[in-house]
Amino acid sequence: MRDPDLDRQQARGSLPGDRYIRGGRARRKEFDKVAEGYLQAKEESVKPTTQLGRLRRALLGRPLASKQQIHERLTKVKALAVLSSDALSSVAYATEQILLVLGAAGAAAYSYSMPIMVAILVLLIAVGLSYRQTIKAYPKGGGSYIVASDNLGPLAGVVAGSALMTDYVLTVAVSVASGVDSIVSAASAMQAYRVELCVAFVAILIVGNLRGIRESGSIFAAPTYLFIGGILLMLVVTGLRWGTGNVHEATPMLGKATQQVSIFLILRAFASGCTALTGVEAISDGVPAFKPPEWRNARTTLTVMVVLLATMFMGITISARATGARAYDSSDPNYQTVISQLAHTAFGSTFLYYYVIGATTAILVLAANTSFSDFPRLFFFMARDDYAPHLFKRLGDRLAFSNGIIVLGGLAILLLVVFRGRTDALIPLYTIGVFVAFTMSQAGMVSRWLRLREPGWQHGLAMNAVGMTLTAIVFVVTAGDKFTEGAWIVLVLIPLLVMTFFSIHRHYSEVTVDLATETPTSPDELKPVVIVPLADLNGPALQSLALARTLSDQVIAVHISDDPDEIARLKAKWEAWGDHVPLEVIESPYRSLVRPLLAYIDAIDRQRRDDTIVVVLPEMVATRWWHQVLHNQTALRLKAALLFRPGTVVVNVPYHLRRYQHQRRRLRARHGGDDAL
């Protein structure tokens, strides 16, 4: 038997008396031979053959082999950009959210921003230290889903995973919307294009991440470091100007107070400011993306991130208090972000002002990249454990989890369109998910320390217990404060996601049991009855009948029509053909085609309960893609109707019109034209 994948070559000898010598195997260009009976597909085997495929490759780049995955790992420098951009960028709006809440009680309430800042810094340090313990304990990735599942059980893990998913989607929406806020601050005319800009930025992020980790790291590293440098320079210049008396402490001009200062108001401001902690978990989730030694590099990167985040958040809050910066509602025609006001104070309307605004816009938009790194990875872990569809386990051409990236981008775009790209409308939905995940992760680590009592467990237990307590308190405060402002949506959505994921898990468990207990059938025991629905005795019908007769001796052709004249014409053709296969004609006075056929198949099935019903469907494949709209509607309806019918095998027989057109042309040319044929 000839090897279907490898061909032999023969070559004429050059010496006298030589006839032929056997050459080596000429391998097909799409494969390399690894061993006998073992071929490896080459890049040529996945070469695009359509215009859409070629466009996709031009946009996303050439596919990468699985063995190149180790080279796609992140250095600490790139990891800080890819996995920390969400947390670092949150300083651009965290202080603003605090001031926005306090402003309801008048300018005097702004003084409470300082103790709130201290409380958030304490929380940040506690969470950072807690996640350092998590990274060491889970060097292959210690996100909330894995830690909670491992230590608290599947329910806790799925709750944590569901909460994180909502947070990742909202992170993309809020980050992009905040980035557009910066553009609007510098160019108010862009207010009318807020939604369009948001959608365009998300589309850019989708494409960048579909190109793969290394390329997205290169794309996103520069804006992250430009932002850090710009903010630190702005804070240093503001401090120097304030210290030398060039900037005097000012009281912000606010409207009439609508609330009184109360513990409730301060807790609301604290809850809003806790947006500064979103994204802190990302490095713990992404440990496998680091270069070896993964956990050490991840811990170092986490520490650097926490220090930078704390420094920038503290500097912005103190500078805002010192310079009299205020928080505007996003619908205010004079809208300016706190960062824009501070940059004006430090640099005026110079190039450096626009540099800070540009860098802030870039980091806010690209901060969503953290979610694009972690959301698909979380979906992979849940799909691996049968809680999410298995399609999310698949790596795309560029070694990225393409399906998760596309789903995340689509959901974020939907949110941005629904909420018109307004940050203040999205913020109430924010932080709920992340603090649920924080709490579940820290609770899992507490359980782990108590169960395993590994070296240094008392130290680790204390850190994680403090982190668990603080994040649980913040979750309760945030959920209570923002419940009526929209947080109820997330609190309802998380249980719905949990029920959905458990339904998926139950389905996969049932499938596994069914496949394991199904009794194999010997080929000799199969007794197929083949039914061939046909509209006419033409090329597709003859091809399908020929295939049907190779499958079984029991073949029935079925013709359904509401036209007696059409039935008579087909019967005449059938007799002229030779009546090689029994023909069953069903007249359908109610003009239905699919339902009478299904009823006929049911009747055959009742007669032959021990036999396998095989339906062979002829289908024309047109020469142009748009020609498909003109054909095959009945075949598509039949396939859809038979897909979920148990005990029925459907065989689709494509009849390629282009192929047979070429054959007819060759025959005509060979025989001198149509007349000769």
Residue 51 lies in a domain: no
Same domain as 264, residue 229: yes
User: At how many degrees (to 10) do helices 351-384 and 194-210 cross?
Assistant: 60
Q: Retrieve residue 322's tokens.
A: 């010192």
Do the Cβ atoms of 25 and 6 come closer than 8 Å? yes
More confident residue, 158 or 328: 158
Q: So what's the pLDDT on residue 139?
A: 83
Computed over every residue of the chain, the mean pLDDT equals 80
Residue 514 lies in a domain: no
Chain segment 226-264, per-residue pLDDT in tens? 999 999 999 999 989 888 877 655 555 555 555 677 888
Same domain as 322, residue 398: yes
Is the pLDDT at 401 greater than 80? The verdict is no
Q: So what's the pLDDT on residue 192?
A: 82
Residue 343 banded pLDDT, cuts 50, 70, 90: very high
Chain segment 297-309, per-residue pLDDT in tens? 999 999 999 999 9
Residue 312 lies in a domain: yes
Q: Which of 15-24, 165-174, 559-568, 639-648 has the lowest mean pLDDT?
A: 15-24
Chain segment 31-85, per-residue pLDDT in tens? 667 666 666 666 666 666 666 666 666 666 666 655 555 555 778 888 888 788 8
Chain segment 606-620, per-residue pLDDT in tens? 888 778 899 998 877
Residue 114 lies in a domain: yes
More confident residue, 428 or 673: 428
CATH number at residue 607: 3.40.50.620
Q: So what's the pLDDT on residue 500?
A: 94
Distance (Å, whole) CA 169 – CA 292: 30
CATH number at residue 278: 1.20.1740.10
Chain segment 502-528, per-residue pLDDT in tens? 999 999 988 888 766 655 555 556 678
More confident residue, 165 or 402: 165
Do the Cβ atoms of 118 and 261 come closer than 8 Å? no
Q: So what's the pLDDT on residue 606?
A: 84
More confident residue, 668 or 325: 325
Q: So what's the pLDDT on residue 456?
A: 82
Q: So what's the pLDDT on residue 50?
A: 63
Q: So what's the pLDDT on residue 263?
A: 85
Residue 636 banded pLDDT, cuts 50, 70, 90: confident
The number of domains in the chain is 3
Same domain as 271, residue 205: yes
Same domain as 444, residue 367: yes
Same domain as 541, residue 406: no
More confident residue, 623 or 367: 367
**Based on the number of CB atoms within 10 Å of its own CB, is 187 exposed (0-12), middle (13-18) or buried (19 or more)?**
exposed
Same domain as 79, residue 15: no
Final residue of a domain: which of 506, 539, 560?
506
Distance (Å, whole) CA 275 – CA 271: 8
Structural domain range at position 393:
74-506
Same domain as 537, residue 500: no
Same domain as 146, residue 27: no
Q: Retrieve residue 283's tokens.
A: 């490095």
Residue 517 lies in a domain: no
Phi-psi region of 258 (alpha: psi -120 to 50; beta: other; left: phi over 0): alpha
Same domain as 394, residue 495: yes
Residue 513 lies in a domain: no
Q: So what's the pLDDT on residue 336?
A: 83
Same domain as 487, residue 633: no
Same domain as 134, residue 35: no
Residue 348 banded pLDDT, cuts 50, 70, 90: confident
Same domain as 547, residue 420: no
Q: In 3-state terms, the chain is what percent helix, strand and coil (to 5)?
A: 70, 10, 25
Residue 676 lies in a domain: no
How far does CA 9 lie from the centroid of its chain? 47
Residue 55 lies in a domain: no
- Local structure of residue 10 (DSSP, 8 states): E
Residue 356 banded pLDDT, cuts 50, 70, 90: very high
